Each structure stands twice: as C-alpha cells, then as structure tokens.
Amino acid sequence: MSSTIKDVAKRANVSIATVSRIVNNQTGYSEKTKKKVLEAIEELGYQPNAVARGLINRRTHTIGVLFPKLSSTFVTDLLSGIEKATHEAGSSLIVCHTESNGEKTMKYLQLLNEKRIDGIIFTSAPLIDEYYQYISKMNVPLVLLSTESYAYNVPYVKVNDRHAAYTATQYLIKQGHKDIGMISGNKDDLIAGRPRIDGFISALQDHNLPYDEQKIVTNQGFSFSDGLGSLKTLLDQSPDITAIFAASDELAMGAISAAYQLGIKVPDELSIIGYDNLSIAEMAIPPLTSVAQPLTEMGEVAANMLFEILNHDKVVKSRIMPHQIKERNSVKERK
Amino acid sequence: MSSTIKDVAKRANVSIATVSRIVNNQTGYSEKTKKKVLEAIEELGYQPNAVARGLINRRTHTIGVLFPKLSSTFVTDLLSGIEKATHEAGSSLIVCHTESNGEKTMKYLQLLNEKRIDGIIFTSAPLIDEYYQYISKMNVPLVLLSTESYAYNVPYVKVNDRHAAYTATQYLIKQGHKDIGMISGNKDDLIAGRPRIDGFISALQDHNLPYDEQKIVTNQGFSFSDGLGSLKTLLDQSPDITAIFAASDELAMGAISAAYQLGIKVPDELSIIGYDNLSIAEMAIPPLTSVAQPLTEMGEVAANMLFEILNHDKVVKSRIMPHQIKERNSVKERK
DNA sequence: ATGAAAGCGCTAACAC
DNA sequence: GTGTTAGCGCTTTCAT
C-alpha cells in the first residue's frame, strides 16, 4: 500500500536519485524540481522506508536498553529519560527486560545484534565478561547506566554510591544521632550493595561513632519485603539505635511499615532516611527523607553519551552524577 | 566485521541460496551440506541480518507501543507484560512515551511507520480520529490496551471500569458503610473517569443509599497530589461520610496522607478503597485495599492478540479482563 | 539437491 | 542539475 521512491520519481517525472537527494536535503537539483517532487511526495503520502535505509547506511537509528527486574518506578524514571533523549536524537528505543537472568540477557543481545541496533545502554546490573565479549564483537558502542565496570573501560553514568551513602549517614549524624543502624541490600553486590555499606561505615568512623557488625542487616535485594523483615532483626541486634539509613526507598518503606506494626513512631522514636528518592517517597507516612539520584537526567545523559559516540565518534568520559538530600519528615533532630 | 550469508556460502562451498534454506529450516538439501553449512556458521559467528530480512519479507518483527504519562508503576506493570509476550513471540518492542501530547503522538506514529513495524499497541489514552486514520493508512494491526474506542471497531483489552467501580462501592456497602464518598479522576474522561463515577452512583442507588453531587470530588487526573488535595474538599462537602472510594491507588494514597495530616485515623474513623492494586498499595500505612486490575496479564493479552492477527490473520475479539477486590487493611467493617 | 539471478527500497559513485 | 547503475544482505523463483 505505501508508496516507494520509485512511485514518487515516476509521478514527478524525475529519477529516483533526484528524489533521494531531495528527501535527504542534499544538493544538486533546482528549486523547480524540488517543488515538483515535494508535491508528488505529499500527494502519495510517501514515507521513506527506514528498513531499506538501514540496510544501506548501516545505521538503523535504533538503540537497545537492557535492564533487570527492578523496583518499578526506579526503572520508569530511568527509562523515561532514555526515551526522551533517544527520540530527540531521532532514534527509537528497544527495551529488553532481562529479569536478572543471564541466559535471557544473551538472547536479548543476540536479538539486538540481528536487528543491527546502533548502540546499547546496559542498566543496573553487573556487566559480566560474557556480555562484554559479545557486545565487543557486535562492534557497537556501549554505555553503562546506574552501574559500572571495574574490569573494562566502559563509559558509565551513575552517582557515587559510597559517597551518597556517606552523605546520608552524615546527615543523620548532623541531626544529632549517635547510634545509627543500616538496612542494606546485598553485600556481595559490588556496584550498589557494598559501596553503600562502606560509605555508611566510613561516615560512622570519621565521626568517631561506634560501629560493629550488629549495626547492619543485609538482604538479598533492595525490595519492600526485604525492608519489612529487616527492621525487627536490626532492632533485636542493636536495640539502642535512634536512626536508620536504608539503602533504597523500598527498603525504607518496608522499615516504616514494620515500625508501624511494631508501634514504633517514625520519626519521633526512630528516624529513617532512604535512598533513590522515588515518587513513593513522598507518599510515605511520614513522607520519606531520601538521598536523591537524578534518575531521569541520568537516563538522558546516558543516551546522549551514546549519540555523542555514534554521531561524532567522540571518546566520552564517564559521568558521576550529583546526589543530594531531599528532606521530608522521616528524620527528626535529636538534641 | 560481522559476516554475511555470502561469507558462509563461500566457506562452506555452497551457494547463498542453500545457506538461506538451511538457516530458515526449509527443505532441499542433504544432511551433509547442512552439517557443513552449520559448521561454517558456527566458525564465523554468523547472525542473519534482520534488517535485510525485514526489507524482503515485509515483516520487521518489531511492534510499537504508545503510552501517555501515567502513574509510573501502572505503566511498568503493563509494559512488562507486553514486553514478555513480545519477546516470547520472537519480536521486539519499541516504546513511545507520548506525554499525552497530540503532536508528539503523530510524530511517533510517523516514526513507527517509517520503521515499518508490524503492529501497534495503543495504551491508556483516547484513540482520536487523527490517530486512527493514520494507523489505518499504515495498514498494520492495532490493539487498544486499558482504553477502548466507541467510534471505531478496534479490539481492546481492559477491565470494565464501571463494573469494577460498582464492585468497589458495593464492597464498602457490604462492610456496613452507608455514607460513602468518592474521589474521582477527570469526569470528562469517557474511558476511565466517567465510567467509574457511574459505577459508584449505580451501586449507591441500587442499595438505596443517599447520593448527591456533594459526595464526589473530581480532579484533573488520578495522581497522588490530586488525592492529597481532595480529601479536605470532600469532607467539607460531606462531613458524615465513613468511607471513600478512590478512583486510583495514587488518589487513595493521597487521601490517606491527607487523613494522616488531618489527624483522621484510617481505617478506624475513615475507610478507603483504591483502584488498580499497584505495588504501592501494599506499602501504604495502613496497607491499601484496592480493586485489582491484572495489569501485567493485560499487557500480555494485548500483545498476544496482536500476534494472533499478525501470524494467523485472525479476527480477534476484545477482552474484558476480570477485576477483583484485594483486601488489605484500609477498610473497616462498620456495625 | 543445488545454483543463478532477480529484486525488496534505498544511497552513492559516476557519467553526462 | 540530473540520470544510470551497482549493491547493501537477504529470500525466492526458476533452472538444472
């Protein structure tokens, strides 16, 4: 049904080469022919076939983004930034939800390869050797988002997790808290788990506050249900704490819910600070103070990096994004 | 860098036609050649070029999904269902976030057309004439998700909003509430706004409960901040209500937060039921009772519908998905 | 069972 | 300023 460049050429009484030149804003035609061709295009409702273009130009104007199962609004925020920047750059986005499953990731990578996408954004998961090797062979640029690689030199966009955790803990300390606990994610997760724990411990030590292992409860992940279960454990281990740093907002929400069930008043009896500043933070009761990551902006930056490489062949530098405390009402000053 | 069918043919000492047959599991070659070719493929790491295939087959194995800005986890749930079914069907998904902006939608539609995607899922927004006409010209199948069209005969997947709202209200009534208010979305939204209001009113009338306009507060949208502002208005208008039906979980969360600020105890002094059963519902304090829509499943169903049309040329029937009350602790029985 | 060749819709090099 | 032609990587007749 849809017409081709041939149809346009025929209708305007020119060759397909001329049509191509005009469609691509090149030079080498008179104003008169241009007008004629444009009219023919209009009349036929001609839209260039991006598939044919992709075949010859070796550029599909499509990029792929991979992400594992994550706290949902975390993903949405990242994604909407990526999507925005991608479309502004005239490309489109193929999303691949890997469910933190290695096999599936390889399948996706293969798919993206067959589709000859222009580049990849790899999100929130460790870039293991197998993936890296495969992507290298694909020969397309790669940007890491909300993750980084210690083994390979791949540009990334993320906040400094250790630093952000330090800031959060320090905030609690400045509010007068001296006995502080942490509900953490997976301590074996070297990207987001461990650094936040390290930042927490550093802050305590730098301020000469007591620290021992009983101050931390670790979990499998960063989810609400992890947080729900962690509060009691933490309180059992360290009954005297007056404040908690939770390594994600969902963890914090879980802790708040658990506190409610236990009859512990937040923030009067216990202060809690979260991490991420998702939209759920403002819905909490009380509204959750949190370390904000600029997720949407991070998504945009990552996508723009990719296009920088793609369009200008530039070597890009990784970006550490700023974090900041978003104050709400879940932390109380302790005199 | 990546090799082509030609390279494989050369390496295996056969013609490209033979390679093509083997790759596509057709007939017309000996086991011996097959083995030879498969080896060559393996050695070269050959992956067929989907772009070239798309050009000749007129099938890109890519579908597009359009959605406006929405309560974020609502989108994620829908999206993950679509994504799952799409990849299981061997296709990929291009996401287009339209921001409820008409102009942008047309641009996306054009883009999807140029990319020659196989089909479209149109989500959660009214299918206006301009879109419908354009998609018709594109000549690709269309499925509506979480929306429907009264003007055109387009298959859709959604719950019966009016019925679901009725169920929610009836639940409140069965819990002994006689004076019930509603915090609604946009009353001019004929897809999700109006039907829920109608369902609410019907339930009241069917049970001989008093109804007047003061019982309902309408909003621009379905957001948390809409809900935050609505509670006081509703209580001012109708001070005697003991229960509220909120037309979305975010609206409900907003109302709960407002109640907290006002010192009103939920559910002891005021019961609240939400709509959607998003993941935030379980994070609320108290956990929010809500009318559940099977969002992920709806996404899967919509995608599968599209593939049904695409692969088997079937005429598909619209699907009304079941809703159900997910009981938590925000509604209290009133004796 | 296998190969040669045409062609999908387009771009770009070359010719005039 | 404009047209002719080769070819991107593949599938599919049509021969053999």
- Per the CB < 8 A criterion, the answer to whether B16 and B3 are in contact is no
CA A198 – CA B143 distance, rounded (Å): 49
CA A246 – CA A181 distance, rounded (Å): 9
- For A39-63, what is the mean pLDDT? 97
| Three-state SS at A145 | strand
Binning pLDDT at 50, 70 and 90, where does residue A18 land? very high
Interface of B with A in 96-115 (CB under 8 A): 96-97, 108, 110-115
* B254 interfaces chain A, CB cutoff of 8 Å: yes
Domains and CATH numbers, chain B: 5-57 (1.10.260.40), 62-159+295-322 (3.40.50.2300), 161-292 (3.40.50.2300)
Output the six-digit token pair for B329. 């602790």
Please check the confidence at residue B13 and state whether its pLDDT lies above 80: yes
Residue-averaged pLDDT of chain A? 96
CA A139 – CA A136 distance, rounded (Å): 5
Output the six-digit token pair for B332. 């209290």
Contact B87 A96 (CB under 8 A): yes
CB-CB neighbors (< 8 A) of A111 in chain B: 87, 92
B14 touches strand C (CB under 7 A): yes
Q: How far is the CA of B22 from the C1' of D15 (A)?
A: 20
pLDDT of residue B1: 60
Alpha helices in B45-160 (DSSP H): 50-57, 72-88, 102-114, 129-138
* B83 interfaces chain A, CB cutoff of 8 Å: yes
Please check the confidence at residue B316 and state whether its pLDDT lies above 80: yes
Residue B182 has φ and ψ, to the nearest 5°, of -135, 135
Binning pLDDT at 50, 70 and 90, where does residue B101 land? confident
Please check the confidence at residue A101 and state whether its pLDDT lies above 80: no
pLDDT of residue A188: 95
CA B193 – CA B270 distance, rounded (Å): 23
pLDDT of residue B71: 61
Q: Distance between alpha carbon A267 and the CA centroid of its chain, in Å?
A: 30
- For A73-92, what is the mean pLDDT? 94
- Contacts of residue B287, Cβ cutoff 8 Å, sequence gap at least 6: A257, B281, B328, B329, B330
Please check the confidence at residue B285 and state whether its pLDDT lies above 70: yes
pLDDT of residue A73: 84
- For B21-31, what is the mean pLDDT? 95
Please name every residue paired with A289 in a beta bridge, in sequence order, or none if there are none: A273
Q: What is the pLDDT of residues A290-304, one digit of tens each?
A: 999 999 999 999 999
Dihedral angle sign, alpha carbons of residues A20, A23, A27, A32? positive
Please check the confidence at residue A276 and state whether its pLDDT lies above 80: yes
- Contacts of residue A227, Cβ cutoff 8 Å, sequence gap at least 6: A183, A219, A246, A248, A250, A251, A252, A253, A254, A255, A257, A258
Q: What is the pLDDT of residues A303-335, one digit of tens each?
A: 999 999 999 998 999 999 999 999 999 999 998
- Per the CB < 8 A criterion, the answer to whether B64 and B94 are in contact is yes
Q: How far is the CA of A48 from the C1' of D5 (A)?
A: 21
Chain B 56-75 residues whose Cβ is under 7 Å from strand D? 56-57
- Contacts of residue B121, Cβ cutoff 8 Å, sequence gap at least 6: B63, B64, B65, B66, B82, B142, B143, B144, B145, B302, B303, B306
A113 touches strand D (CB under 7 A): no
CA B284 – CA A256 distance, rounded (Å): 10
| Three-state SS at B28 | coil
pLDDT of residue B335: 82
CA A259 – CA A228 distance, rounded (Å): 9
pLDDT of residue A1: 60
Q: Distance between alpha carbon A173 and the CA centroid of its chain, in Å?
A: 29
Please check the confidence at residue B67 and state whether its pLDDT lies above 80: yes
How many helices (H) does chain B have, and how many strands (E)? 12, 12
Binning pLDDT at 50, 70 and 90, where does residue B70 land? low
CA A59 – CA A249 distance, rounded (Å): 40
B53 touches strand D (CB under 7 A): yes
Binning pLDDT at 50, 70 and 90, where does residue A103 land? confident
Number of other residues whose CB lies within 10 A of the CB of residue B276: 29
* B73 interfaces chain A, CB cutoff of 8 Å: yes
- For A120-143, what is the mean pLDDT? 96
Residue-averaged pLDDT of chain B? 96
A48 touches strand C (CB under 7 A): yes
Rg (CA), chain B: 26
- Rounded to a whole number, what is the distance in angstroms from the first to the last CA of chain A? 75
Q: How far is the CA of B52 from the C1' of D7 (A)?
A: 13
Binning pLDDT at 50, 70 and 90, where does residue A99 land? confident
Task: Give A216-238 as a DSSP string.
Answer: EE--SSS-HHHHHHHHHHHHHH-
Residue B163 has φ and ψ, to the nearest 5°, of -65, -45
- For B209-227, what is the mean pLDDT? 95
CA A235 – CA B272 distance, rounded (Å): 32
B280 touches strand D (CB under 7 A): no
Task: Considering only the beta carbons, identify the residue of A72, A116, A286 that sits closest to B51.
Answer: A116
In degrees to the nearest 10, what's the CA dihedral of B110, B115, B116, B121? -70
Please name every residue paired with A144 in a beta bridge, in sequence order, or none if there are none: A122, A156
Task: Give B138-187 as a DSSP string.
Answer: HT--EEEES---SSS---EEEE-HHHHHHHHHHHHHHTT--SEEEE-S-T
Please check the confidence at residue B155 and state whether its pLDDT lies above 80: yes
Binning pLDDT at 50, 70 and 90, where does residue B72 land? confident
Q: What is the pLDDT of residues B160-212, one digit of tens each?
A: 999 999 999 999 999 999 999 999 999 999 999 999 999 999 999 999 998 99
Q: How far is the CA of A55 from the C1' of D6 (A)?
A: 15
Q: How far is the CA of B309 from the C1' of D11 (A)?
A: 23
Binning pLDDT at 50, 70 and 90, where does residue A71 land? low
Task: Considering only the beta carbons, identify the residue of B1, B97, B114 that sits closest to A48.
Answer: B114
CB-CB neighbors (< 8 A) of A112 in chain B: 92
Lowest mean pLDDT among B102-106, B157-161, B173-177: B102-106
- For A120-146, what is the mean pLDDT? 96
Nucleotide at minimal C1' distance from the A28 CA: D1
**Interhelix angle A161-174/A193-206, nearest 10 degrees:** 40
